Chain A
Amino acid sequence: MAVRRRGLQNFDSMRFRRMDSGPIVWESGRKRHFDAGRRTRGGILPYMELLPAVAVKHGNVEHLKTCCNNVKRGCSVDFLFRNGRVIDPANNFDQIADVLVVNGVVADISPMLEVSAERLAGVEVIDASGKWVTPGLVDMHVHLREPGEEYKETIETGTRAAAAGGFTSVACMPNTRPVNDCAAVTEFILARSKEQGACRVLPVGAISKGLKGEALTEFGELREAGAVAVTDDGRPVTSNQLMRRALEYAKVFDILVISHAEDLSLAEGGVMNEGFTSTLLGLRGIPNAAEEVMVARDLLLAELTHGRVHIAHVSTEGSVRMIREAKSRGVGVTAETAPHYFTLSDAELIDYDPVFKMNPPLRSRDDILAVKAGLADGTLDAIATDHAPHSVIEKDVEIEFAANGVIGLESALPLILGLVREGVLTPMEAIAKASSNPSSILGVSSGSLRRGTPADLTVIDPELRYILDANAFYSKSRNCPFHGKEVQGQALMALVDGKIAFSRMHR
């Protein structure tokens, strides 16, 4: 039984000395940033931060070992999180408080919660001071690749990556093989998640059979089987008529229609954003209008049908502007963006590295600013990763031939927290965009710490500075554009249904 050492590879050269009380200090800190972090925190780093992360599946958590080897079927342990900053946007709650989890549900939240001694006996108390305790994060746009491309990712590895990144629910896109366009595939995904998943999986069905853009799938059956939304993500619904019908028909089942907004003729042959860098590199460009033409169409059709459309992975200034305008008129639209669209620009492609190739492409600095403004004013409701694992077979080739997509589950949280440090979002807004907003857009009940609800909960250290190491990720794939980047903020623990899905905390 190997202990999986995660997140510490960068710091192998350092030595820790354990203090009597548990905390440890650096003896030789060669990484200056880490040292600086330490000083701001009074000279010591809490011990928990420096432990290798522990995967429950591998049975490393001592007292859980005897009674469970699977997170979904694990025994219930009750938890009391003491003194954390509890940020629960759904209930407009942001203060230092204690959270009691009993029998898998949120039993109580209150400052200085009084728990009787005998009650406390069966409860694991976790000191969360200096940490954030939030509803479990919800990623409404991931590609888990199973069924069909298990060499890139599986439901098991993808959900493990999700939990390690602080996510307790992920919505998986239907462009698998076979396509998730019928109940049988949706049911397979749910069954597999129940067996092997580290977090909740919310299947998203296809809009059209086989993603061919020709005929609607059976939304009713998909909904019944457990699909939370429909989309042809990976490609647009090119027929305006089919998109209109999808938005109308979805109303019967109150199922969300997610649009991958891309005009294929404008984007044809494109490798990266159309701009100065594409001209410099001699690469065919994808203009902003390739996205915006379709966003405009979808907004018009949402208005026409009084339907509800969700625009996936918004990357351009024009899209933000049109969505903002449509929202102001009451059009039924919500939208998401991804961390790479507010963090990286098309200038990253200067060395032709396919790890920066994705669809929509990384845009200009002006687009980054517009996306941030859209997040700040609520035009963009959610932050989703568009986690798109690819192996070296698809990625380590000439840039024109390389597949689109980046992984994001294990890098998203620090980048979202970066928006808080920049002053773009308040902590409450940041957590909302990564939990309660996507939950309510999808119509699922997670994303809230309301008493009596299943305890999907994430503990976050907003201060911890470290270097993202894609080689230490739980995801099967390594196509992370942030590899080697110094970031701040990390998920320490994720509870799903009151059970530990992932933990880096010393307990």
Chain B
Amino acid sequence: MRRTKKDLLGVRELEVEEIEHILKLAASLKEINTRPIKKVPTLRGKTVVHLFYEPSTRTRTSFDVAAKRLSADTYSIAASSSSLVKGETFLDTLKNLEAMSPDVFVIRHPVSGAPQRLARRTSVSVVNAGDGMHEHPSQALLDLLTISERKGGFKDLTVAIIGDIYHSRVARSDIWALTKMGARVLACGPPTLIPPHLEGLGVRVYWRLEDVIPQADVLIVLRLQKERQQQMLLPSLREYSICYGLNRRRMELARDDAIVMHPGPMNRGVEISPDVADGPHSLILDQVANGVAVRMAILYMVAQG
């Protein structure tokens, strides 16, 4: 086995070969999900602890299903994270759990860098299930799997990531993943939602959706958090939807074989219209199915490593 790292913290630190290895593994594990008995004994006796400092039913369920299909024991801990709550810190909690000898921590945390910091202080494998605005590696890997299944590869592929790039860990992980695999990446959104020096990550930045849709083989639409209005970043969801919402009329500009993806959960009618979300270009449900397979591959790798 090529992989020797104990953790999966971000796509940034993955080598291309590691990414390819995970995708290959995920593709082969995907078959298990179609069996009548969807379970293999691979991780029997291993313990996976889901530690979610942010509510996320989808990602947690996906990791949990993945772990259980590999026969691992799983525990979920929902915790609240606040600088104001004195007492037990994030590290205290982790040290307590560590004493129970788990094999993998799957961590979702609202502060960027929190899983990285933890991973340096524990011998338990850490899988980042999304940290702040930083990375969401399992999402990017399942996006890669979904794209490669449909497009056969990444060379000469143009992928547009649309919406709130600034606050999006999905966007950052997708940018790392796609650029490493050789795809051309465009980022599109209002300047208030584009982080500074984004070009430094190897992407081209556009402000107008009409400019990117015709070029794109893949359109990844990001969720818009409704509170962005209050932060003076946007005048209204209505105007956002008018300027940046992906709807059927805009999809007329797209290539016939363009695919539409969304990390979920969607705000139907804001960043994506229902007819596009449920339409022929959409691979959104494939993403969910691939999510389980990719997370099985990730857990297998870190737990076996």
Contact B196 A398 (CB under 8 A): no
| Interface segment, one of A206-214, A224-232, A274-282, A425-433 | A274-282
Please give, as numbers and ranges, the residues of chain B lying within 8 Å of A281 by CB-CB distance: 112-113, 134
- Is residue B288 contacting chain A, with contact meaning CB distance below 8 A? no
Which partner residue on chain B sits nearest A279 by CB separation? B195
Asked if B97 is at the interface of the complex by the 8 Å CB criterion, the answer is: no
Task: Kindly list chain A residues whose C-beta atoms are within 8 Å of the C-beta of B70.
Answer: none
Verify A278–B117 contact, CB threshold 8 A: no
Closest A residue, CB atoms, query B81: A398
Contact A351 B116 (CB under 8 A): yes
Which residues of A from 384 to 430 have beta carbons under 8 Å from B? 396-401
The CA-CA distance from A274 to B196 in the complex, in Å, is 7
B32-40, B144-152, B197-205, B239-247: which lies at the interface: B197-205
Tell me whether chain A's interface is mostly helix, strand or loop, or mixed.
loop
A268 to chain B, nearest CB (A): 9
Given contacts A398-B109, A400-B83, contact A280 B201 (CB under 8 A): yes
Complex Cα gap A400–B90 (Å): 13
CB of A285 within 8 Å of the partner chain: yes
Complex partner residue of B83 from A285, A351, A397, CB under 8 angstroms: A397
- Contact across chains for A398 and B117 when beta carbons are under 8 A apart: yes
A279 engages B197 (CB within 8 Å) = yes
- Set of chain A residues within 8 Å of B89, measured between Cβ atoms: 396-397
Does A11 count as interface, using CB distance less than 8 angstroms? Answer: no
Give the nearest-CB partner of B110 in chain A: A400
Q: Are B197 and A352 in contact (CB-based, < 8 A)?
A: no
Residues of B within 8 A of A8 (CB): none
Candidates B131, B135, B198; contact of A279 at CB < 8 Å: B198
Determine whether the beta carbon of B197 is less than 8 Å from that of A275: yes
Interface residue? B16 (CB, 8 A): no
A322 at the interface (CB under 8 A from B): no
Bound form: Cα–Cα A280–B90 in Å? 23
Q: A398-B114, A400-B111, A401-B111 are in contact. Are A282 and B133 (CB under 8 A)?
A: yes
Q: B172 in the interface, Cβ–Cβ < 8 Å?
A: yes
A351 to B115, CA, bound (A): 11
For B113, the chain A residues whose CB sits under 8 A away are 281, 283, 351-352, 398-399
User: Does the CB pair A398–B111 fall under 8 Å?
Assistant: yes
B223 at interface, CB cutoff 8 A: no
* Chain A residues, Cβ within 8 Å of B109: 398
CB within 8 Å of A: which B9-44 residues: 12
Q: Which of B126-146 contact A (CB under 8 A)?
A: 131-135
Complex contact B132–A282 (CB within 8 A): yes
Once bound together, how far apart are the Cα atoms of A303 and B134, in whole Å? 44
Cβ-closest chain B residue relative to A401 = B83
CB nearest to A402 among chain B residues = B83
Which of the residues A282, A400, A401 comes within 8 Å of B135, measured between beta carbons? A282
What distance in Å separates the Cβ of B109 from its nearest Cβ neighbour in chain A? Answer: 7
CA distance A282 to B132 in the complex (A): 7
Across the two chains, which residue of chain B brings its CB closest to A268? B231
* Cα distance, A282 to B195, chains bound together (Å): 9
- Whether A400 contacts B132 in the complex (CB less than 8 A), given A279-B201, A351-B116, comes out as yes
Find A352's partner among B83, B116, B196 (CB 8 Å cutoff): B116
Taking each of A278, A279, A282, which has the highest tally of chain B beta carbons within 10 Å of its own beta carbon?
Answer: A282
Q: Please name the residue on chain A nearest to B200 by beta carbon.
A: A276
B12, B90, B135: the one contacting A398 at CB < 8 Å is B90
What residues of chain B lie closer than 8 Å to A400, measured between beta carbons? 83, 111-112, 132
B78 at the interface (CB under 8 A from A): no
Whether B289 sits at the interface, judged by CB under 8 Å, is no
How far is B194's CA from A274's CA once the two chains are assembled, in angstroms? 12
A278–B200 alpha-carbon span in the complex (Å):
12
Q: Check A352/B117 contact, CB under 8 A, given A279-B196, A397-B83.
A: yes
A400 to B131 alpha-carbon distance, docked (Å): 12
Query: With an 8 A cutoff between CB atoms, is B69 at the interface?
Result: no
Please measure, in the bound complex, the distance between the C-alpha atom of A316 and the C-alpha atom of B227, giving whole angstroms.
31
Asked if B91 is an interface residue, CB under 8 A from chain A, the answer is: yes
Fill in one digit per residue for A270-292: 1 if any B CB lies within 8 Å of its CB, else 0.
00001110111111110000000
In the complex the two chains form, is A399's CB within 8 Å of B196's CB? Answer: no
Residue of A nearest to B168 (CB): A282
Residues of B contacting A278 in the complex (Cβ-Cβ under 8 angstroms): 195-196
Are B133 and A283 within 8 A (Cβ)?
Answer: yes
A487 to chain B, nearest CB (A): 25
Residues from chain A with Cβ under 8 Å of B132 in the complex? 282-283, 400
Q: Give A349's nearest chain B residue, CB to CB.
A: B113
Residue-wise interface mask of B (71-115) relative to A, using a CB-CB cutoff of 8 A (1 in contact, 0 not)? 000000000010100000111000000000000000001011110
Per-residue 0/1 for A189-223: is the Cβ within 8 Å of any B Cβ (1 yes, 0 no)? Answer: 00000000000000000000000000000000000
CB contact under 8 A between A282 and B112, given known A352-B117, A400-B83 = yes
Q: How far is the CA of A285 from the CA of B117 in the complex (A)?
A: 20
Closest to A284 in B: B133
Within residues 118 to 150 of chain A, which ones have a CB less than 8 A from any CB in chain B?
none
A-B contact pairs, 14 of them (CB 8 A): A276-B200, A279-B195, A279-B196, A279-B201, A281-B112, A283-B112, A283-B132, A283-B133, A351-B113, A397-B89, A398-B111, A398-B113, A398-B117, A401-B111
CB-based closest 4 A-B pairs:
A352-B113, A282-B134, A282-B133, A401-B83
